[in-house]
Amino acid sequence: MKTAILLVTGNSLSLAETLHQEMNDSEIFTLEHFPGCTYISSLSDFIEENFDEYDAFIFICAMGICVRTIAPHVKDKHTDPAVICVDSMGRNAISVLSGHIGQANKITQDVAHILGANPVISTLSDNSGLWALDTLGQEFGWEVLVGMSHAYYKNIELLDDDEEEESDEGEDYNEEEEYGEDEDEEYDEDEEEEYDEDEEEEYDEDEEEEYDEDEEEEYDEDEEEIEDDNSIILQMRDGTNYNEKTKEFNVIINLFVNKYRTALLLEIRDEGTDYLERTRPQHVDVYYHRSDMDLSQYKLLIIVSPFMFFDPAIANIQYIPRILHVGLGLALDPPEFEELFVNLVVGAPGKNICGQAIKEVATIDVKRNVEVIKILQKLVDVRFYTAEELSQVEVPNPSTTVQKYMGTPSVCEAAAILSSHHGVLYAEKFKGLSNKSTFAIAIENGYLRQGHIEIVGAGPGNPDLISVRGRQMLEKADLILYAGSLVPRELTFCAKPGATVRNSASMDLEEQFALMKKFYDEGKFIVRLHTGDPCIYGAIQEQMNYFDQHHMSYHITPGISSFQAAAAALKSQFTIPEKVQSIILTRGEGRTPMPEREQLHLLARSQSTMCIFLSAGIAEQVQEELLQEYPETTPVAVCYHLTWKDERIYRGELKDLAKIVKENNLTLTTMIVVGEAIDNREGLSRLYAHEFKHLFRK
């Protein structure tokens, strides 16, 4: 983010330099000559010339100077840059302009963190913990559509003061605070006269006939109970800087922050929808199917879906994830681009897809140089597949004609399926307007509200050492299948009411698969909980192979491995400058054979720090092999139940390794660490040497 740091007086130069050091792509501008800073003769002239050239401006001065300087240039919160003001002592960082869309609120938090200052943010959504609807789409890569129609006028009434005082959170409603502090730029006191006078005629006279007479029955009857409430329109700042769509967006935001009953429709599942479910305010009800909603009970609808929503009776905002993959087949004589474009956006019969949801178009590679494809590539990502790749995909509508000319029974359906990573074929093959093209649409694998398996790393044992995401997955799971011989049961205590929790210790693979498949086919969310990090001796490869064969949706949440817990418990850095720079994670040869090239004595030649898993039962063999290369006095540590309540650690030398294991009856969940890095305090890194220069310290 291109940032200008504006310094009014040299007394605060150290603050500016600190910010410049920590913020990439920033530059300091000063009214005095200072080394490393760019001199400007006039603050107001600089802003006039550069207001649209920077993403953010950080003023270090009095608020009054900041406001008066930017005031003549403020246009629209959707395009204005972020403006932050820091007082000359660095005690407060204040978000002044474009708090959400321009990211001023986020930058304010960052600035406050860097300086140790107090962040001052006045927007209601931030202070009340509500979602910022105007930037929510940006966070998760969603496009945004606002739907109002006549619902715009139906839903513009605000709760009065008494009603607001009885809100769910029990907070007093303060009109002055909301419109004066929360959206200072939007509900500026200076604009009050404009709305009381200039806009009164527009909404009280010009629209009187249309909405008091033509729509009287529809709106007065439904809204009789709040007909005397204040109008948002009369409270909003409009002027000439905002178009109708902006006003509609502001109405929606106000409905939400004033806690009108809101329906949340989640027709897909991704990181963003997980966040919305996890942080849902009390006045929001969640739905997964349109048919389950009774919208008469709500003032606002929030939708996350790649499919259009049509209901003019309710104010709504739709977030569109880019998850649709279009398979495209072209005749020898392809259609014009205009026809192709129309079919891409609205051509799927009865499917009502949003054009913004298209992530990729896919077709056969022999069409790569067709002119219409070249034009299409300028607008959207286009992926090409060979006939051989396409022919491997089973499709519902194979064609002998396509097979004859293209060498594959399907182009559009097969391409859509491949492009979506074997997702759901939402729209089977349909023809374009002139029969010169065929289309199929698939939803990217893992996004539909269907069964899903999350493979979660539990960490080394202590329930506090599971990742935040890992715990969130456990809390939402319908089935938790945990490796009970290795994972403490306490990790499952956060399961939601009604969740099924099963120990897999007594199950073979087929039994585990059968249980997970049952829940998956019911559209349930499954957590397969493994010890440590599941990708290190987690035995998940055979499970993932099964998931792949059945085209099941799954994902891996990593965990802290026991070798990392060992380093922490031993208070040792396993990589010592000029001593040892590699860590080997391995095991001894027990019931599972080791590849010949990975025999312990061969790996030991490097003298690296060696972390040996699953080998306490063959300690004598391990010791014998390691002594072929390591000196017998090499430090060793035998770590039992790392981070568990009964954790035990035994230190010694390599020549005594087997004895330590035997005398202490160590078997399962034991990590053996070998190498000079144990307890080593010698060797200095060059990273922090004063003469060592790099990108951040020149």
Alpha-carbon span 93 to 654, nearest angstrom: 57
pTM (predicted TM-score):
0.63
Longest dimension (CA), the chain: 97
Query: What is the structure's pLDDT at 687?
Result: 66
Which H/E stretch holds residue 265? strand 262-266
- Angle (CA) 345-421-459 rounded to 5° is 125
Instruction: Indicate whether 551 pLDDT > 90.
Output: no
* Span 240-244, average pLDDT: 40
The pLDDT confidence band at residue 134, using thresholds 50, 70 and 90, is confident
The pLDDT confidence band at residue 107, using thresholds 50, 70 and 90, is very high
Query: What is the structure's pLDDT at 688?
Result: 66
pLDDT over 90 percentage in the chain: 60
* Span 619-623, average pLDDT: 94
Alpha-carbon span 51 to 76, nearest angstrom: 13
Q: Which of 439, 410, 408, 409 is nearest to 426 (CA)?
A: 439
Q: Which residues contact 534 (CB under 8 A, 6 or more apart)?
A: 455, 456, 457, 528, 540, 556, 558, 559
Alpha-carbon span 353 to 349, nearest angstrom: 10
The single residue listed with the structure tokens 């529809």 is 218
CB-based contact 662:619 (threshold 8 Å) = yes
Q: Write the pLDDT tens digit of every residue in 170-210.
A: 333 333 333 333 333 333 434 333 434 443 333 343 333 33
* CB neighbourhood size of 429 (10 A): 22
Which H/E stretch holds residue 601? helix 600-603
Q: How many helices (H) and strands (E) does the chain have?
A: 28, 27
241: left (phi over 0), alpha (psi -120 to 50) or beta: alpha
Q: Which residues pair with 637 in a beta bridge?
A: 651, 673
* CB neighbourhood size of 287 (10 A): 17
